[in-house]
Structure 1
Amino acid sequence: MSLLVCAYVFVPETNTTVAINEQPKAPFNNLFGFESWRQTVWDSPILRKHNCTLLNSLSSQDIYAGDAVLLQLQNELEVIKEHIDQITDELNLHKESFAFRIDNAFEAIRIAQKVTNGIVYIG
């Protein structure tokens, strides 16, 4: 199975989400990695070292990021981009493939930030 990253609108009145009409445009898509990455990548010591606490939580739960949590997600992804060589070397990941998945998350954030109550789901 794959981890997906998608933008939604949170509807507070019904405590539900609805899909946003805008979907990622090529070259982006909704892929965020393999299910096994919950432990091997997102909860790895190297990401813990870089204080990616929100992404570390993927080891035990899905992420629903809106408002301040969406900004936290964006900040953690920026830290990963800044240290991508070190992270991919330590985790033995293909840099371009990993960077593509990070960029997919940035695209979902961009889409979510364009609408009221936009959130990003990862899971």
Structure 2
Amino acid sequence: MTLSVDVFMIGEDGRIDVLPVPDGCSDLAGFERWRTTVWGSEAVRALGATYFPVLADSDLDVAPDQVADFRAECALIRDNIELIAAGDDPLHSHAAHTEGIAYRLKNIEDAAVRAQELGGGVRIW
């Protein structure tokens, strides 16, 4: 299984509506095992990240009023991607692992930009 990233809106009735992924965008957010080996890893936690480590135990919903802070955490992850990719991945070289994380992080960042523009939130599940 893989993790997906989506933008959601909260309706007036409090209902959460997940928006379709626009053409040309990707909802890929990583492999299921990345909940603990990448996004919830000790390297990410050591950076002081608070959003991504939630994925180690559950899905992540970033409320609309938290998206700016979430985008800052995405930038922190991007700035430290080499450190995060240093974790053991027996299936890929370090370069391939780094590239894979960067690709999925870009999808997450793109979703966060869309969410912020629309006044919505971000879900990784």
Q: Which residue in the other structure is 1:69 paired with?
A: 66
TM-score, scaled to structure 2: 0.84
> Are 1:106 and 2:106 matched, yes or no?
no
Give the whole-Å Cα distance in 1 for the aligned partners of 2:19 and 2:40.
29
Q: Which residue in the other structure is 1:4 paired with?
A: 4
Q: Which has the larger displacement, 90-99 or 70-79?
A: 90-99
Give the whole-Å Cα distance in 1 for the aligned partners of 2:111 and 2:73.
14
Cα deviation for residue 63 of structure 1 reads 1.2
**Greater than 4 Å deviation, 4+ residue runs:** none
Q: Which residue in the other structure is 2:122 paired with?
A: 120
Cα deviation for residue 69 of structure 1 reads 2.1
SS in 1 for 2:86: helix
TM-score, scaled to structure 1: 0.85
1:1-123 to structure 2, matched below 5 A, reads 1-11=1-11, 13-20=12-19, 23-26=21-24, 28-92=25-89, 94-116=97-119, 118-123=120-125
Structure 1: 5+ residue stretches without partners: none
Give the whole-Å Cα distance in 2 for the aligned partners of 1:56 and 1:111.
22
Cα deviation for residue 25 of structure 1 reads 4.2
Give the whole-Å Cα distance in 2 for the aligned partners of 1:90 and 1:37.
11
Percent of residue pairs bearing the same amino acid type: 29
Cα deviation for residue 68 of structure 1 reads 3.6
